[in-house]
Amino acid sequence: MKHSSTNLKTRFGEFRFHCFSWGLHEEDNILVLENDQFSGAPLVRVQSACYSAEIFRSLDCDCHAQLSKSQRLIAENGGYLIYMLCDGRGAGLLNKLRGMALGEQEGLDTSDAYRKLGLLQDPREYLRVSEVIKHFRLEKIQLLTNNPRKIEGLTSAGIDVDRVPLEIDSTEDTKPYLETKAKKMGHLLSEFGQ
């Protein structure tokens, strides 16, 4: 693993900006915003790329809102925003778009579209994320998440995890997506009784 860091000013505050690299391609990198001004177990957000929401501001998911809220909370309270360059829950951007197209053409939700494409619902792995967390010598974290798979992925690597919910109220556009995450993928979203 290679590593480099520098300071970064953002609209939420100043961070130490890290890049951890395991290969030659961008998707082999994990980015981290660090605010080391915390006491006790720090807030940690593990976020996967969502280029449609984070670059183009699509309205059909809560990814951009979760990223902004996490960055603000970590700027205020200290901690680490760990950003994985893997769109489509790790299935890749091309597969994500194929799934979205199936949604348009056949009325499938993201879960059923991935199933029809022969893809795992959430193929992300958290081994590299756990390596990054251990780089910072963190043994216990407060994980900003609604996804039980992230908790399992990190606890199985020996990290003590307390969950902190990161719920974004649904809109007319995001409700179908969030309901699918809750009902079919087990995400912990109180709005949908999970």
147 is a domain residue:
yes
Residues 79, 27 share a domain:
yes
Q: Quick one: pLDDT band at residue 162, thresholds 50, 70, 90?
A: very high
Amino acid identity at 162: D
Residues 143, 109 share a domain:
no
Residues 94, 82 share a domain:
no
Residues 115, 28 share a domain:
no
**pLDDT score of 25 more than 80:** yes
Residues 140, 67 share a domain:
yes
Q: Give the β-pairing of 79-84 and 29-35.
A: antiparallel
Q: What is the C-alpha to C-alpha distance for residues 75 and 30, in angstroms, rounded to an integer?
A: 19
Work out how many domains the chain is built from and give that number: 2
Residue numbers of the domain that contains 98: 90-122
Residues 95, 133 share a domain:
no
73 is a domain residue:
yes
**pLDDT score of 36 more than 90:** yes
Residues 131, 115 share a domain:
no
Residues 67, 117 share a domain:
no
Across 35-49, average pLDDT: 96
Burial readout 6-28 (b: 16 or more C-beta within 10 A, e: otherwise) = eeeeeebeebebbebeeeeeeee
Residues 147, 160 share a domain:
yes
In this structure, what token pair is assigned to residue 45? 């957000």
In this structure, what token pair is assigned to residue 190? 């109180």
Which of 44, 45, 5 lies closest to 21 in space, CA to CA?
A: 5
* DSSP output for 97-140: HHHHHHHHHH---HHHHHHHTT--S-----HHHHHHHHHTT-SE
Residues 66, 54 share a domain:
yes
Active site residues: 122, 124
Q: Give the β-pairing of 79-84 and 43-48.
A: parallel
State if pTM tops 0.75: yes
**pLDDT score of 194 more than 70:** no
Residues 112, 29 share a domain:
no
CATH number of the domain enclosing 74:
3.40.50.10990
Across 130-149, average pLDDT: 97
Residues 113, 26 share a domain:
no
Give the pLDDT confidence of 84-109 residue by residue, as tens digits: 998 877 788 888 889 889 888 999 98
**pLDDT score of 67 more than 90:** yes
Mean pLDDT, rounded, of the chain? 93
The pLDDT value given to residue 66: 97
